[in-house]
C-alpha cells in the first residue's frame, strides 16, 4: 500500500507555498511565491530552489502533497471489500494517512525533489564549466559519477554546446 501511495504522491503531488504571517515585508524577495501552487513533478528547478530557500529562511510555508480526498479514496478502495470490519479499517486508514503516511511520504518526496534539484544544478555546472580536472571538494561521498550519469541534461544544453563549439 505504501508503494502505491508513493507512486500516487510522485504523480499527483502539488507544491503549495504561502507566506508566513507577519513576514510579508521581510520576505519581499519571495513575493512571487506568497500564494503559489504547481504540480511537483513539473516545477522548474529555479522555482523549486526559490521555494525551498524561502522555506529554509522561514519566509514561506511549503506543503508537497496530492489532493487529500483522492489519496483517502485510494486507501478506501483498498479496504472496501474487507467484510464487516470495513468501516473500522476505513477509519484506521484515514487516521494513519493523516497522522503518519501523509507526512512521511511528503518528507520522502521533498527529499527526492531536493536530490533531483541538486543533480540538475550540478549537471548544469558541468555543462557550463566543462568536464575539467579541477578538484571536487564537495564530492566527499563519491557522488560525482551518480550525478554525472543519472541527471537529465537541461533542455538548453544542446544549444549552449553548439554555441561553445
Count other C-beta atoms under 10 Å from residue 102's C-beta. Answer: 18
Domain ranges of the chain: 2-164
Q: What is the pLDDT of residue 131?
A: 59
CATH code linked to domain 2-164: 1.10.3500.10
pLDDT band per the 50, 70, 90 thresholds, residue 12? very high
Alpha carbons within 13 angstroms on the beta-carbon side of residue 143 total: 14
pLDDT per residue as tens digits for the range 77-107: 877 766 788 888 888 888 999 999 999 999 9
Enter the pTM of the model. Answer: 0.71
Amino acid at each position: 500500500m505504501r508503494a502505491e501511495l508513493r507512486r500516487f504522491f510522485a504523480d499527483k503531488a502539488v507544491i503549495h507555498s504561502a507566506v508566513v504571517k507577519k513576514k510579508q515585508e521581510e520576505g519581499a524577495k519571495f513575493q512571487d511565491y506568497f500564494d503559489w501552487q504547481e504540480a511537483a513533478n513539473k516545477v522548474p528547478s529555479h522555482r523549486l530552489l526559490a521555494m525551498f530557500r524561502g522555506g529554509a529562511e522561514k519566509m514561506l510555508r511549503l506543503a508537497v502533497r496530492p489532493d487529500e480526498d483522492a489519496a483517502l479514496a485510494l486507501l478506501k478502495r483498498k479496504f472496501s471489500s474487507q467484510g464487516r470490519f470495513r468501516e473500522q479499517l476505513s477509519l484506521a486508514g484515514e487516521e494513519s494517512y493523516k497522522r503518519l503516511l501523509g507526512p512521511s511520504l511528503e518528507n520522502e518526496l521533498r527529499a527526492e525533489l531536493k536530490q533531483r534539484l541538486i543533480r540538475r544544478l550540478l549537471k548544469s555546472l558541468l555543462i557550463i564549466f566543462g568536464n575539467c580536472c579541477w578538484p571536487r571538494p564537495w564530492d566527499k561521498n563519491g557522488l560525482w559519477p551518480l550525478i554525472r550519469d543519472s541527471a537529465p541534461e537541461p533542455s538548453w544544453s544542446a544549444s549552449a554546446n553548439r554555441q561553445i563549439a
